[in-house]
Chain A
Amino acid sequence: MSAIQNERELQDNSYAVEFRGVTKKFGSVVANDDVTFGVRKGTIHGIIGENGAGKSTLMSILFGLYHPEQGEILLSGALSKIKTPSTAIRAGIGMVHQHFMLVERMTALQNVVLGTEEGYWLKGGTGNVASKVKEIQNRYGLHFPLDAVTRDLPVGVQQRIEILKALYRGADVLILDEPTGVLTPGEVQDLFRVFQDLRAQGKTVILITHKLQEILSITDSVTVLRQGKSVGTYATAETDRMMLATLMVGRRPNAPPQAREPRRSDIRVEVSNLGVKDNLSIQRVFDLSFQIHAGEVLGVAGVAGNGQSELLSALAGLSPPSTGKIRLGNVEILPDHPTQPETIRKNGVGHVPEDRHRLGMMKRWTAAENSILGLHRSDRIEGVGKRIKPSKVGNWCRDLMTKHDVRPANPDLRFGLFSGGNQQKLVIGREIALSPDVLLIGQPTRGVDIGAIENIHAALLAERDRGKSVLLVSVELEEVLALSDRILVMFEGRSMGIVDRADADEKLLGLMMAGLPLADALNEKKVTVQ
């Protein structure tokens, strides 16, 4: 073999992974459209894009879970056919999924060795590999107890098991799909340190995220995806926040609307010393107290999984509080006196759930049937009562669709066929249709196309101006800042304090979301500013 040939190979090999014209369709939806870019060996490469931009699909293709219609993937310069996860694993690709692929009833070690047990018989149920696993643990600082049952470990640790699982299988390229969504800021820092260790050892890390901050703080290079297409690949040092945001969205994001003087009057919602447990009896919310006035939006900010969902769920009557008290208008919810969602709805509370597909709608029903979901016990809608008259319900739905610009305005269409934004517009329209005094709303623009976002924000502010009390839970800090009059920050189920919109900025909220109570966060902020 001549030296020249060697050198050319070396050049080709400088890409660990290269996508060439990869296209993937699901029915008529194009998830990836002619995606072309390369990931250099030994780097931390970010892939950023909005929800639904095709990031996860692309990585699932790389990991052999999906097969593209067109295009090819090169690994270290060589064309490769990745048909199944096992071929991907053999080719040195490891993936840490957004939802962990861990068997919760098994031990950490069993999870690590699953699929690569080395021999038919297992010693003590886990194979002959404990020493090998411990060595990897030490090399990358991925420490966790090997014999602990996985479900008893915190999420941050479970993620470490996932990373170790991939490394144990000989991964040279490690893909992490939205790894920070469930982590506290401290755990995020630990994770990033692991990334740096991996890079130092020559591994390639692909980080999928929709958070600009993460791209800027840890990656070497970044590829932006928008609506399934690769918009460009850049050295991270040459980019900035504004540039990436513009590339992701396709236009400059709107400046947040100006906060206005809050109109304060009577207190509608009063939560005192609230505690909530989840369905596994794990305490998720601790000693939470706040009030919401009429004509006010209280935003709840925090990293996903810090008790916001359980808070919403308790307020909506979906899970009983374990301690404390909730008062919503005339209804009281107490631990020994749990209140059904039906009663809460009757007393003037609307609820737009965080997870629309799981809670807020029936995918296979028509739009018309969905338009009375939760209102079907009301006697204020024509055609709804002990008897339900389908034609009257169709009229009701058509009115809602016109009022809230839901397209196509066809009540008989299966609701699952509508776009996320149009679904959400109908759900919000339905929840405010009977003019509730209190509106609970979670992640109002999750999975919603950009066009609908402004619509939805305008509708929320209109409710506020009509004197309603709105509780807004969102993991999008910009959204919370844009809509709220006051902002409550939650961390590990506790309140870090409530800030007036006028006094809040991303820096302060970021510190509070990381677990600093308001007073400390203010101090800390002063110190860093000086």
Chain B
Amino acid sequence: MDYLTIVFVTASALRLAVPLIFAAMGGLYAEKSGVIDIGLEGKMLFGAFAAGACATAFGSSAAGLAGAIAAGILLALAQAFASIHLRGNQLVIGIAINIIASGLTAFLGIAWYQRGGQTPQLDTHERFLPIILPGADAISNVPIIGPLYAQIISGQTVFVYGAFLLAIITWLVIYRTRFGLRLQACGDKPEAVETAGVSVFVTRYIAFTINGALCGIGGAYFALVQGGAFYKDMTAGQGYMALAAVIFGNWRPGRVLAACLLFAFADAAQGRMQGAMIGDFAIPTQLIQALPYVLTLLLLAGIVGRAEGPLEAGRPYIKGER
């Protein structure tokens, strides 16, 4: 790969990383609070649909984004209610969320728009467009720095910058605020939080509200930026990939961000790797596509590092039971 190819792949990787980062950071809040979240995929899909539908209905990209956030929060709160109040099996509920979102978005899409589940194509003012930073054109021909600035730093949508900002904010919230302290304690020992006079339920609901909003934004990105409309099952497993990133990032914001970028880079590079050979062996693109899952499995198996998730994740908390 030459330099320009690397620049293009990197720029493309940044764009692919956006939904992963939003969903993974959302998943991080839920998991840190002690609830396993398999439902990232469903909430993103629901958000993508709401984004497409609202942007069309109100003719504005902001409405699309707001709709996506609202939809993500709605589904997240349903999930939270079943997981937290009703003490259901968090894994089963997460799976249910994904299936419901997949069915409901297709069902409503077909019923409302009669285009096989697709929402109408969005106009430019209903979408988010890349922001060209000043001088990008002027220096694009300068060697090395030119393409770097024009392709990677400039020419991205607000979501890309937002994703990185989100990672920083998440780090600050988790490690530098009292909410973060309580959040982590909820995940490790909810009884300690409750006896310290802080409600475990409230903390977890707040975590899920954030989670839903972030998944919604991640989903909106698909419809408002990538696709220019909602398509049936358009998240295509990226929510599961985000879950993998949370695990591979060992539940730490910085590493989760790195995992998202790595996975996105693999995704961006696989198109360029078509027909690449090692000796006489053609590297199948599927092998590169499998990389994120394989890496995550290796971490879970303890072959690369040790998984250090929240200790109580998955166990419903029952007030008063010690």
B145-160 interface code vs A (CB 8 A; 1 in, 0 out): 0000000000000000
Q: Which of A66, A88, A117, A169 contacts B178 (CB 8 A)?
A: A117
Q: Which of B179, B181, B189, B199 contacts A102 (CB 8 A)?
A: B189
Q: How far is the CA of A263 from the CA of B94 in the complex (A)?
A: 63
* Interface stretch of the complex, out of A103-111, A133-141, A427-435: A103-111
- Among residues of A, the one whose C-beta sits closest to the C-beta of B191 is A101
Taking A60-B320, A104-B188, A106-B184 as contacts, is the C-beta distance between A122 and B176 under 8 angstroms? yes
CB contact list, A84-122 vs B, under 8 A: 84-86, 88-90, 95, 97, 99, 101-106, 110-111, 113-117, 119-122
Q: Check: A271 CB closer than 8 A to any chain B CB.
A: no
Q: Check: B195 CB closer than 8 A to any chain A CB.
A: yes
CB distance from B199 to the nearest CB of A (A): 8
Q: How far is the CA of A120 from the CA of B195 in the complex (A)?
A: 20
B322 touches A115 (CB 8 A): no
CB distance from A202 to the nearest CB of B (A): 23
Q: Which of B175, B191, B192 has the largest count of A CB atoms less than 10 A from its CB?
A: B192
CB contact list, B179-228 vs A, under 8 A: 179-182, 184-185, 188-189, 191-199
Q: Check: B177 CB closer than 8 A to any chain A CB.
A: yes
Taking A60-B320, A106-B184 as contacts, is the C-beta distance between A101 and B178 under 8 angstroms? no
A127 touches B194 (CB 8 A): no
CB contact list, A69-96 vs B, under 8 A: 84-86, 88-90, 95
A115 touches B191 (CB 8 A): no
CB distance from A481 to the nearest CB of B (A): 32
- Among residues of A, the one whose C-beta sits closest to the C-beta of B320 is A65
Q: Which of B176, B189, B195, B320 contacts A125 (CB 8 A)?
A: B176
B192 touches A120 (CB 8 A): no
Taking A101-B196, A103-B192 as contacts, is the C-beta distance between A120 and B177 under 8 angstroms? yes
Chain A residues whose CB sits within 8 angstroms of the CB of B175 once the complex forms: 125
- Among residues of A, the one whose C-beta sits closest to the C-beta of B188 is A103
Q: How far is the CA of A84 from the CA of B194 in the complex (A)?
A: 9
- Among residues of B, the one whose C-beta sits closest to the C-beta of A105 is B188
A115 touches B182 (CB 8 A): yes
Q: How far is the CA of A256 from the CA of B322 in the complex (A)?
A: 35
Taking A114-B198, A115-B198 as contacts, is the C-beta distance between A121 and B189 under 8 angstroms? no
B188 touches A86 (CB 8 A): no
Taking A105-B188, A125-B176 as contacts, is the C-beta distance between A97 and B322 under 8 angstroms? yes
A101 touches B184 (CB 8 A): no
A103 touches B184 (CB 8 A): yes
Q: Which of B180, B185, B195 contacts A63 (CB 8 A)?
A: B195
Q: Which of A63, A85, A86, A127 has the largest count of B CB atoms less than 10 A from its CB?
A: A85
Q: How far is the CA of A88 from the CA of B194 in the complex (A)?
A: 12
B196 touches A165 (CB 8 A): yes
B197 touches A84 (CB 8 A): yes
Q: How far is the CA of A63 from the CA of B320 in the complex (A)?
A: 10
Q: How far is the CA of A114 from the CA of B181 in the complex (A)?
A: 7
- Among residues of A, the one whose C-beta sits closest to the C-beta of B178 is A117
Q: Which of B176, B188, B197, B320 contacts A115 (CB 8 A)?
A: B197
Chain A residues whose CB sits within 8 angstroms of the CB of B176 once the complex forms: 121-122, 125
B320 touches A101 (CB 8 A): no
Q: How far is the CA of A130 from the CA of B182 in the complex (A)?
A: 18
Chain A residues whose CB sits within 8 angstroms of the CB of B181 once the complex forms: 106, 110, 113-114, 117, 122, 125
CB distance from A361 to the nearest CB of B (A): 20
Q: How far is the CA of A106 from the CA of B186 in the complex (A)?
A: 12
Taking A103-B184, A110-B181 as contacts, is the C-beta distance between A85 and B197 under 8 angstroms? yes
A114 touches B193 (CB 8 A): yes
A85 touches B196 (CB 8 A): yes
Chain A residues whose CB sits within 8 angstroms of the CB of B197 once the complex forms: 84-86, 88-90, 115-116, 169
Chain A residues whose CB sits within 8 angstroms of the CB of B180 once the complex forms: 122
- Among residues of B, the one whose C-beta sits closest to the C-beta of A125 is B175
A122 touches B189 (CB 8 A): no
Q: How far is the CA of A86 from the CA of B320 in the complex (A)?
A: 13
B196 touches A114 (CB 8 A): yes
A103 touches B322 (CB 8 A): no
Chain A residues whose CB sits within 8 angstroms of the CB of B193 once the complex forms: 114-115
Q: How far is the CA of A320 from the CA of B191 in the complex (A)?
A: 32
B189 touches A101 (CB 8 A): yes
Taking A103-B184, A121-B177, A125-B176 as contacts, is the C-beta distance between A66 and B192 under 8 angstroms? no
CB distance from A86 to the nearest CB of B (A): 3
Can you sample 29 A-B contacts with CB below 8 Å?
A60-B320, A65-B194, A65-B195, A65-B319, A84-B199, A85-B194, A85-B196, A85-B197, A99-B191, A101-B195, A103-B184, A103-B189, A103-B192, A105-B184, A106-B184, A106-B185, A114-B181, A114-B182, A114-B193, A115-B182, A115-B198, A116-B196, A117-B178, A117-B181, A119-B178, A122-B176, A122-B180, A125-B175, A169-B196
| B residues at A contact (CB < 8 Å) | 175-182, 184-185, 188-189, 191-199, 311, 319-320, 322
Q: A88-B197, A101-B195, A114-B182 are in contact. List 15 more A-B contacts (CB 8 A).
A: A84-B197, A86-B198, A95-B195, A101-B192, A103-B184, A103-B185, A105-B311, A106-B185, A110-B181, A111-B192, A114-B196, A115-B193, A115-B197, A116-B196, A117-B178
